[in-house]
Amino acid sequence: MLELNNLTDYNVDNLNLLRQITNSQTDRPVELTICYDEQMRDINEESRGIDKSTDVLSFPVSIDFEPNKASHIPLGSIVINIDKAYKKAQVLSHATDDELCLLYIHGLLHILGFDHETDNGEMREEE
């Protein structure tokens, strides 16, 4: 299940695709927040102590539970900066929704435990 919290005026056209991506990876809910550059900067500083914006942040929920009783517990939250997604989409000559999907997949893989800074390319391969 995907729960969208859109703090922008951007209309997400591919919400069904994002839901399909989510459902293909987990049966637990994932929260997706879409925000602007300044909001992302604030979130990044508050959560990581880094006073700059970024394109995507992931916040996995880490609690102890019995796996078969956890379907209602969220897997985590993903925050995407729509300003950076739009700019990157222009550079790569594809749609903003396509970039949004790529960033969502990246964030979801982080929540699932992948880490491109420490793995041997496994996360890139999954993406």
Token duo for residue 100: 């949004």
Cα Rg of the chain, angstroms: 15
Average pLDDT on 100-121 reads: 81
| Measured distance CA(71)–CA(112) in Å, rounded | 15
Q: What is the pLDDT of residues 80-97, one digit of tens each?
A: 999 999 999 999 999 999
**pTM reported for the whole predicted model:** 0.85
Evaluate whether 58 touches 81 at the Cβ level (below 8 Å): no
Q: What is the pLDDT of residues 24-63, one digit of tens each?
A: 988 889 999 999 999 999 999 999 999 999 999 999 887 6
Beta bridge mates, 77: 31, 59
Q: What is the pLDDT of residues 95-108, one digit of tens each?
A: 999 999 999 998 99
What is the predicted pLDDT for the residue at 116? 64
Pairwise pLDDT comparison (127 vs 50), residue with the higher score: 50
